[in-house]
Amino acid sequence: MRWHRDLPSASKSAILTRQGGKWYIVFHIEVAGAAVPDRTVSVGIDFGTRRLVTLSNGDWVERPNWTKRAKREMRRRQRALVRCKRGSNNQAKRRLALARLHERIANKRRDHLHKVSRGLVRRFGRIAVAKLNVKDLLSQPYMARDISNASWAQLAAMLAYKAENAGGEFVAVDPQGTSQTCPECMAVTEKKLSRRIHCCPCGCVIDGDVAAAMVVHYRAFNFWPGAGLGAPSDA
C-alpha cells in the first residue's frame, strides 16, 4: 500500500475496489467540520461549454478539455485494440491500456471539479445554479461531447453536498429562459446560444454567461447580485 498522506483519525470501515487493473482502498473516517461560510455572500452560477462555470460577479473558470487533449492517444489505443484478434491475450492487454487512459482522464476531471467546488463553497455561503436536465441535453449530438467533458451534473452534486456539509445554502432553480432574460429590465428575448454578448434595447450590454448567472441568482434569492445582502432562505 502506498500512503500519500496520514489518516486524520482511525478508520471505521473500508471498501476494497479494483479499477483499470489497480486495487484501491476507500477508508471511512471522521473529520472535523469545515469552517462555516459567510451566508451573506451569495453567487449565481451558469454552467457552459465554453467556460466550466461563470459567476454572477463576473468571474469565471475555464473548462480544461481533458478529452480533447488525450484525443490522439485515445485514437491510437482504440486502433491498436481493433487490430487485435478477438479473444487473444493481446486484445486483453490493449483493452486494459485503453481503460487506464479513460481512468486517467476521469481522475483529472474529477480532481479539477473537487478543487473548483471546494473553492466556491469557501468563497460563498449561498450558491445558486440552474437545474439542468443533463440527460436530455446529452441527446443532442452537437453538444453531447462538450457536456460530458464538462460534467455539469457531477459538479452540481459536489457543490450541493459540500455546501450542506459546510453549513451553507445550495439552491437549484428552473433553467427555462435564464440565457434569454435581461438582468436589467427582465425582458425575454430569444437569441442563439452561440451569441456571446447580451444586448438589450434597454441599454444593457453584458457578457451573455454573466447575464444568465445573474438571472439564476435573482431566481434563487430574489435580489440581484450586488444589490444587497438579502436574508437566508430558511430565516
Cβ atoms of 37 and 121 closer than 8 Å: yes
- Containing structural domain, residue 57: 13-33+40-221
Q: Is there a domain that residue 205 lies in?
A: yes
Cβ atoms of 126 and 43 closer than 8 Å: yes
pLDDT digits (tens, 9 = 90+) for 24-83: 888 888 877 666 677 788 999 998 878 889 999 989 998 887 777 777 888 888 889 989
Q: Which residue type occupies 185?
A: C
Which CATH number fits the domain that encloses residue 90? Answer: 3.30.420
Confidence class for position 229, pLDDT limits 50, 70, 90 = very low
- Alpha helices, H only, the chain: 66-69, 71-82, 89-123, 134-137, 141-150, 152-166, 208-221
Q: Is there a domain that residue 173 lies in?
A: yes
SS3 labels along 124-172: CCEEEEECCCHHHHCCCHHHHHHHHHHCHHHHHHHHHHHHHHHCCEEEE
Q: Is there a domain that residue 2 lies in?
A: no
Question: What is the model's pTM?
Answer: 0.76
Cell of 26: 476507500
Question: Measuring CA to CA, which residue among 4, 2, 1 is closest to residue 111?
Answer: 4
Q: Is there a domain that residue 50 lies in?
A: yes
- At 16, is the secondary structure helix, strand, or coil? strand
Confidence class for position 153, pLDDT limits 50, 70, 90 = confident
Q: Is the pLDDT of residue 99 over 80?
A: yes
Neighbouring residues of 178: CB distance < 8 A, sequence distance ≥ 6? 46, 130, 212, 215, 216, 219
Q: Is there a domain that residue 6 lies in?
A: no
pLDDT digits (tens, 9 = 90+) for 162-219: 998 888 999 999 888 888 888 888 888 777 766 778 788 888 888 888 989 999 999 9
Output the pLDDT for position 137: 66
Q: Is there a domain that residue 59 lies in?
A: yes
Q: Is the pLDDT of residue 231 over 50?
A: no
Cell of 177: 429562459
What is the distance between the alpha carbons of residues 186 and 208, in angstroms, rounded to a whole number?
Answer: 14
Number of domains in the chain: 1
Q: Is there a domain that residue 228 lies in?
A: no
Output the pLDDT for position 190: 77
Output the pLDDT for position 233: 40
